[in-house]
Amino acid sequence: MKELQFDAVVIGGGAAGMAAALELERSGCSAAILEREDHLGGILMQCIHNGFGLQEFNEELTGPEFAGRFIEKIKSTGIPVYLNTTVISLRSEGSAGQNHKELFCVSPDQGVMKISARAVVLSMGCRERNRGNVRIPGSRPAGVFTAGLAQRLVNIEGYIPGKEVVIIGSGDIGLIMARRMTWVGCKVKAVVEIMPYPAGLTRNIVQCLKDFDIPLYLSSQTTNIFGNDRVEGVEVTPMENGAMVPEKKFRIDCDTVLLSVGLVPENELSKEAGVELNSATGGPLVDAGLMTNVEGIFACGNVLHVHDLVDYVAEEARLAGSFAANWLRGGHPCMQVRLKAGPSIRYVNPGKLNPQGGNKIFMRSLIVKNDATLELKIGARVIKTLKQRHVQPSEMITVELGPKDFENVSLNAESTLEFSLA
Ligand SMILES: Cc1cc2nc3c(=O)[nH]c(=O)nc-3n(C[C@H](O)[C@H](O)[C@H](O)COP(=O)(O)OP(=O)(O)OC[C@H]3O[C@@H](n4cnc5c(N)ncnc54)[C@H](O)[C@@H]3O)c2cc1C
């Protein structure tokens, strides 16, 4: 069995993995990328629409173009990249302070490989929720796909999975696929969303549904999928005040159903390594240095929490790479203060902040509101107030906090800060 050793190993070669590896390399650490696909780039490679890179490159790029810029940098640095290499096991061995990580991977070329590293950056992305996760009743005909799978079939494999399509869930992948399926000649009959507001970005509602006159049924539950060999239609039951109204249910005929009902971080390896998970995000709980509870294991990108923009993924991953490099050099953890989600906030990431340094905090709202007020408090005392023009659960809120924000606040390791929205 081949055995390798690096300062750090990055699991996953999407936008997050590449940005983290580049930062590790820039900081003088030996780092390798392990990627199960036969190419770098991750999910970006099937996102052939534009809308990527406005912040990172100040240009509007397609997914493959955005990935291509990082792939070129990786090539020019000579960072070792192991493609077709799936990490099947991740463990932390040894006692705290002296532990090392042991990874087992498989690849057709190398068979089983054992890799040792002091630090690991988790960047395995996320996976789509499927019909089982949302318990849609009905028969089990062919023609039900997740939206991301349909995207791969159309954009990479060159197959069109059906002709008349209903999309269940209004997440961004479903919205993008509504437009894509229309462009390839399908009839997209409706997008059906259980919540009273869309789950995707406003720009995607406009550019992918409104521009193509595709109806969006909000507050509507899919209560049946019909068909034996192949999908023949779906039953939709409107909801009023949170309850279904069966007398208003209706049927939409279709031969294809695409599910866009959420994403969950890929967390099997994290769990095996003993990483504590955040029940609100499904990803690891991390501190202000993006380190998990397992010393030397860091996380970034969609494996940490599902991001709507790849630019934020790259920014967060660079931070993870630089925190990992600092930790490898023996950098001591800074003073950290707990950060929690208060009223109307679904989650706050990371779960801690460093009051003496720069912090970029990501959070998601539980409410839809114009002219909202975001407050950061310690107990009843308000430390910072930020006006938000519009908030909704699908649009990530980002806040930068630095030492100036805490100048007159006495904090210690037991303090807890709370974000709330009203
Ligand atoms: C349909 C769609 C549309 C989008 N549209 C936009 C947009 O318009 N603008 C925008 O900015 N963002 C958009 N995004 C978001 C953006 O693309 C993602 O947030 C970002 O690319 C995620 O990067 P990542 O590296 O975290 O994950 P991924 O790209 O998923 O990379 C994870 C990598 O890890 C690998 N991996 C997983 N497990 C293992 C393992 N055990 N061993 C080895 N390798 C493993 C996977 O193969 C994968 O390559 C879109 C996303 C989707 C899905």
Can you tell me whether residue 370 is helix, strand or coil?
strand
Q: Per-residue pLDDT tens for 343-356?
A: 999 999 999 999 99
CB 257 within 8 A of CB 164: no
Report how far residue 16's alpha carbon sits from residue 181's, in angstroms, rounded to the nearest whole number. 28
Q: Per-residue pLDDT tens for 254-278?
A: 999 999 999 999 999 999 999 999 9
Residue from 83, 121, 124, 267 whose mutation best tests the ligand 1 pocket (most atoms within 8 A of CB): 124
What atom of ligand 1 comes closest to residue 43's alpha carbon? Answer: 29
Report how far residue 298's alpha carbon sits from residue 321's, in angstroms, rounded to the nearest whole number. 8
Mean pLDDT, rounded, for 112-122: 97
Q: Which residues contact 89 (CB under 8 A, 6 or more apart)?
A: 102, 103, 104, 269, 272
Residue 251 has a pLDDT of: 98
Tell me the CA–centroid distance for residue 14 and ligand 1, in Å: 6
Establish whether residue 235 lines the binding site of ligand 1, counting it when its CB lies within 6 angstroms of any ligand atom.
Answer: no
Residue 367 has a pLDDT of: 94
Tell me the CA–centroid distance for residue 18 and ligand 1, in Å: 11
Establish whether residue 34 lines the binding site of ligand 1, counting it when its CB lies within 6 angstroms of any ligand atom.
Answer: yes
What atom of ligand 1 comes closest to residue 177's alpha carbon? Answer: 1
Tell me the CA–centroid distance for residue 255 and ligand 1, in Å: 29
CB 69 within 8 A of CB 57: yes
Residue 308 has a pLDDT of: 86
Give the pLDDT band (50/70/90) at residue 96.
Answer: low
Give the pLDDT band (50/70/90) at residue 333.
Answer: low
Tell me the CA–centroid distance for residue 142 and ligand 1, in Å: 27
Dump the DSSP string for 242-262: TEE-GGG-EEEE-SEEEE---
Q: Per-residue pLDDT tens for 7-31?
A: 999 999 999 999 999 999 999 999 9
Can you tell me whether residue 27 is helix, strand or coil?
coil
Say whether pLDDT at 334 is over 90. Answer: no
What atom of ligand 1 comes closest to residue 269's alpha carbon? Answer: 41
Chain centre distance of CA 239: 29
Residue 48 has a pLDDT of: 95
Report how far residue 288's alpha carbon sits from residue 350's, in angstroms, rounded to the nearest whole number. 6
Tell me the CA–centroid distance for residue 302 and ligand 1, in Å: 7
- Quote the tokens at residue 252: 């939409």
Q: Per-residue pLDDT tens for 383-413?
A: 999 999 999 998 899 999 999 999 989 888 8
Establish whether residue 81 lines the binding site of ligand 1, counting it when its CB lies within 6 angstroms of any ligand atom.
Answer: no
Establish whether residue 13 lines the binding site of ligand 1, counting it when its CB lies within 6 angstroms of any ligand atom.
Answer: yes
Q: Per-residue pLDDT tens for 202-251?
A: 989 999 999 999 999 999 999 999 999 999 999 999 999 989 999 999 99
Establish whether residue 173 lines the binding site of ligand 1, counting it when its CB lies within 6 angstroms of any ligand atom.
Answer: yes
- What Å distances lie between residue 22 and 6, 34, 74, 337, CA to CA? 14, 14, 7, 29
Residue 89 has a pLDDT of: 97
Say whether pLDDT at 293 is over 70. Answer: yes
Say whether pLDDT at 84 is over 90. Answer: yes
Average pLDDT, the chain: 95
Establish whether residue 120 lines the binding site of ligand 1, counting it when its CB lies within 6 angstroms of any ligand atom.
Answer: no
Q: Per-residue pLDDT tens for 97-113?
A: 667 999 999 999 999 99
